[in-house]
Amino acid sequence: MFILFIVLGGAAYGMTRYRSVKNSVNSSFKPSGLTKERDVSSVLKSKKPVSILLMGTDTGALGRDYKGRTDSMMVITLNPSKNKTTVTSIPRDTAVNIPGYKSVSPAKINAAYSYGQTKTAIKTVQKLLNIPIDFYALINMGGMEKVINQANGVDVTPTLSFKYEGFSFTKGEKTHMNGKKALAYSRMRYDDPQGDYGRQTRQRAVLTALVHKSSSVSTLLNQSFINSLSDQTQTDLTFDELTTIAKDYNSVRKNTSETHLQGNGEEVAKQSMEVMKKSELQRVTNFIRENLDLPHAETGDIQYKSSQGSSVSKTEEQINDIGMQKSTSGTKGNTSVAESNSNNGYRTGTGSGYSNSGY
């Protein structure tokens, strides 16, 4: 999370909070346990594009205290030579065969973290899209209520009108939200016509508003804000790596492009999941690899592939048989990249204002 506040929040940090931020980053540091696909030290030294997997867990929300699942997953790429950031959202209900967990596959991608924590979550995303993940950042979304309160709330303009958990939200009306209200705004799912896709958009809007708020000197000088932030985040970015990105990748704030994986709802293993077509996965793989300045490559191969166009239901025995096997089915009726772009149009923006396409 600190990477977002320092890179996107601007240079307001300066030296005023150097030691506090360093201590906070150190307290939040935790290796994923997965061998990195690239030499990240060399990548940063050469100022080459980097990727970060940002995950929001549901731990702490509604009083939960278990390790939880990932309510949100976003792949962020930072390319200083192109002055560009990309944000790719992965729906939590995406149907995948989780690496190393054959007996429970296919499963929703948000279960990867609960089974093998950050190591398995990162591996799953890498194999799904055939992309390298250089770093990760984990945010306790339930605990973000405390962080937002320490920042004295955030201002968000709702994209639709609804009532949830005792709060009312009006479309197009700029609203000041405390932590509890912001969490309610970002959590509502079933009354949104766009379902989980709409929830992801609202969640990013709240995080974006917090990033903007954190760029103010008064917020950054608030020791309670710094402490609360470190309490709710975990990352494998070292302090030196973080400061390198803040110094050498600051230009990525100038342009941002955003997209998301768009699937088809099906019943898989007696659960409602989002099944991704090969063409859609390839589109997103191309989108991410392009901003990482990597050559074209075929997308990953662990997605669940329906053998029929209709809903399917699997018994436990059938699920175990499916496991991690590769399938050649599922390509029938693929849409072209152009059609995918039309249906899931990239949202782009310029400058440092991320009101529509932030994190």
- Range 21-31 average pLDDT: 80
Distance CA 45, CA 337 (A): 34
- Range 119-132 average pLDDT: 98
Q: Are the CB atoms for 151 and 225 separated by under 8 Å?
A: yes
Distances (CA, A) of 338 to 314, 346, 359: 33, 11, 25
Residue 305 lies in a domain: yes
Strand, coil or helix: 124: helix
Residue 352 lies in a domain: no
Residue 34 lies in a domain: yes
Q: How confident is the model at residue 234 (pLDDT cuts 50, 70, 90)?
A: confident
Q: What is the DSSP letter of 139?
A: E
Residue 223 lies in a domain: yes
Q: Is the dihedral of CA 302, 304, 308, 313 positive or negative?
A: positive
DSSP structure string for 21-89: HHHHHHHHB---SS--SS-HHHHHHTT--EEEEEEEE-TTGGG--S---EEEEEEEEEETTTTEEEEEE
Structure tokens at 235: 């990352």
Residue 232 lies in a domain: yes
Residue pLDDT, tens place only, 285-311: 999 999 999 999 999 999 998 764 433
Strands 84-90 and 255-260, sheet pairing: parallel
Higher-confidence residue of 106 and 9: namely 106
Structural domain of residue 192, as residue ranges?
A: 2-340
Report the chain's C-alpha Rg in angstroms.
20
Residue 345 lies in a domain: no
Q: How confident is the model at residue 199 (pLDDT cuts 50, 70, 90)?
A: confident
Residue 350 lies in a domain: no
Residue pLDDT, tens place only, 109-125: 999 999 999 999 999 99
Residue pLDDT, tens place only, 258-289: 899 999 999 999 999 999 999 999 999 999 99
Exposure on the CB side of residue 159, measured as CA atoms within 13 A: 20
Strands 95-96 and 167-169, sheet pairing: unpaired
Say what the pLDDT of residue 207 is. Answer: 79
Residue 206 lies in a domain: yes
Residue pLDDT, tens place only, 53-79: 999 886 654 444 446 788 889 999 999
- Range 199-209 average pLDDT: 83
Domain count, the chain: 1
What is the average pLDDT score of the chain? 78
Structure tokens at 278: 């090969």
Specify the CATH number for the domain of residue 24: 3.40.630.190
Q: How confident is the model at residue 225 (pLDDT cuts 50, 70, 90)?
A: low
